[in-house]
Amino acid sequence: MAQLTQIDNRWNISGDVIIGTVPAILESSKSLTIAVDTMVDFAKVNNIDTSAISLILEWKRRAQQEKQALKFVNLPANLISLTQLYGVAELIN
């Protein structure tokens, strides 16, 4: 089970960010606000797979449409490796 909450300008994501949970995470993020200096914190993520990259890129597209920026913090090491493997690390931050 994954959970996404917002406290001020910080989105906190917890639980598993995997192919089975990403659609629900994306849907719940639609009610959250992207403002100046909004950060998405992955510190409490347990398991993660490549579908997290799609989620992050979707959030980046939304931020661009809203003329805002998102910063991703506390990314798990395996997610950083995956972004490098797929050549999208520079798109994340």
State what percent of residues in the chain have pLDDT above 90: 91
Mind listing the pLDDT tens digit for each residue in 43-86? 999 999 999 999 999 999 999 999 999 999 999 999 999 999 99
Q: How far apart are CA 74 and CA 39, in angstroms?
A: 10
Looking only at the bridges linking them, the beta strands covering 2-7 and 10-17 are antiparallel
Q: Model confidence at 6, in pLDDT bands (50, 70, 90)? A: very high
In the predicted structure, residue 93 carries a pLDDT above the cut 80: no
pLDDT-based confidence at 36, cuts 50/70/90?
confident
Averaged over 39-44, what is the pLDDT?
A: 97
Percent of the chain whose pLDDT exceeds 70: 100
Domains and CATH numbers, the chain: 2-92 (3.30.750.24)
* β 10-17/38-48 pair status: parallel
